[in-house]
Chain A
Amino acid sequence: KNEVEQSPQNLTAQEGEFITINCSYSVGISALHWLQQHPGGGIVSLFMLSSGKKKHGRLIATINIQEKHSSLHITASHPRDSAVYICAVIISGSRLTFGEGTQLTVNP
């Protein structure tokens, strides 16, 4: 079993829909990253969270440390949001452990 599990693996939405991607982890962590990977392959860090909630534009990330769970929300989704969204946690020291990613497709 992976230490980091994401759901769903694939998600298709219509433009304008509210989207939620979930991340659960099984061990104690010091922080959690949400990353975005576009078809070209490059990865961009969206958020780093250790508690609570962060918002940037139409993106909102929340984390519940007690429940070992984080969610990434996208409001008013747009086709340009289509990408792979990856959850990564810092379990010990300097190493990131990654989820398998969620492939999001937003149709116009």
Chain B
Amino acid sequence: DGGITQSPKYLFRKEGQNVTLSCEQNLNHDAMYWYRQDPGQGLRLIYYSQIVNDFQKGDIAEGYSVSREKKESFPLTVTSAQKNPTAFYLCASSPSGAPTEAFFGQGTRLTVV
């Protein structure tokens, strides 16, 4: 079955450590997105990529980095520069630059202690 896989579902890290969240899709979608969700707030865009080897900052990119070396994969690294990294992170993809269809992963809940 086609879909988006995020791993792991739960992740714990010590403060000051970098951590990488995985997002893989087998939908052959060009565009991929990373969102952050905090209680009581809508999803906010961290980074997005419309094509392999290219990506753009979203609204809250500070403290995060991404890569898009393969069409299927769009990993997100939460660096030690991110002031408040504990959150729920969602990955999404769409067939082209315009998200007329939006497919989401199951999310990764990151807790930094």
Using a CB–CB distance below 8 Å, which chain A residues touch chain B?
2, 4, 30-31, 33, 35, 40-45, 48, 86, 88, 90, 93-101
Residues of A contacting B44 with CB < 8 Å? 98
**Size class of B's contact patch?**
20 to 34
B55 within 8 A of A: no
Q: Is the CB of B104 within 8 A of A93?
A: no
Using a CB–CB distance below 8 Å, which chain B residues touch chain A?
31, 33, 35, 40-45, 48, 50, 58, 88, 90, 92, 94, 96-107, 109
Interface hub of B43, B96, B100 (most chain A Cβ within 10 A) = B43
List, sorted by A's number, 19 A–B pairs whose CB atoms are closer than 8 Å. A31-B100, A41-B90, A41-B107, A42-B104, A42-B106, A43-B92, A43-B104, A45-B103, A86-B43, A90-B99, A90-B100, A93-B97, A93-B98, A94-B94, A95-B45, A95-B48, A96-B43, A96-B45, A98-B35
Not counting A41-B107, A96-B99, a sample of 19 additional A-B residue pairs whose C-beta atoms are within 8 angstroms of each other reads A33-B99, A35-B102, A35-B104, A40-B106, A40-B107, A41-B88, A41-B90, A42-B104, A43-B104, A44-B104, A45-B104, A48-B100, A88-B43, A93-B97, A94-B31, A98-B35, A100-B40, A100-B41, A101-B42
Residue of chain A at shortest CB distance from B109: A41
How many Å from the CB of A6 to the closest CB on chain B? 9
Residue of chain B at shortest CB distance from A42: B106
Residue of chain A at shortest CB distance from B35: A98
Pick the residue among B42, B98, B102, B104 that contacts A2 (CB under 8 A). Answer: B42
Residues of B contacting A101 with CB < 8 Å? 42
Q: How far is the CA of A90 from the CA of B98 in the complex (A)?
A: 8
